[in-house]
Amino acid sequence: MSSTGNSSPPNVTETISTTPHTLLTVNMSHVSKLTATNYLMWKIQIHALLDGYDLAGHIDGSTLIPAATTNNGDEILVNPEHTFWKRQDKLIFSSLIGAISPSLQPLVSRVVTSAEVWNTLALTSKVSSQDLIN
């Protein structure tokens, strides 16, 4: 039997995500849809629901967005915390869109995060409230 004495198996590094998080879907089937006249109560109901799931930080800014990448010294890697945050935020985003009446959905057609949905609706509501006062 012949073998080459100085051949060794190639170095293979495998990264396995071990993030202990679970993505949560938010059931908003019992939430009143946002209309032109019920913003304040809708806002209270949505925030309480998300707070109950410990997800309100996505809309109020208290949960910081993790960096998209990490550096382990030799290479730049996708940050699994960012991937998890992004996936969770998209589930919240989708739930928020579903809790808005179709006539108001165009107001948030250009935003990409749940916080942007929240902030856009808050700003729009303030403008609408000022119109009612004046």
List pLDDT tens digits, range 29-43.
889 999 999 999 999
In a domain, 23, yes or no: no
In a domain, 26, yes or no: no
Percent of the chain at pLDDT > 90 equals: 66
Whose CA is closest to 43, among 27, 62, 56, 53?
Answer: 56
The model's pTM is 0.78
Domain count, the chain: 1
In a domain, 80, yes or no: yes
In a domain, 69, yes or no: yes
In a domain, 114, yes or no: yes
| pLDDT tens digits for range 41-78 | 999 999 999 999 999 999 999 999 999 999 988 899 99
In a domain, 91, yes or no: yes
Three-state DSSP at 23 gives coil
Alpha carbon 118 to chain centroid, angstroms? 11
Three-state DSSP at 88 gives helix
In a domain, 79, yes or no: yes
In a domain, 40, yes or no: no
Q: What is the DSSP letter of 72?
A: -
Give residue 38's pLDDT: 95
Q: What is the DSSP letter of 105?
A: G
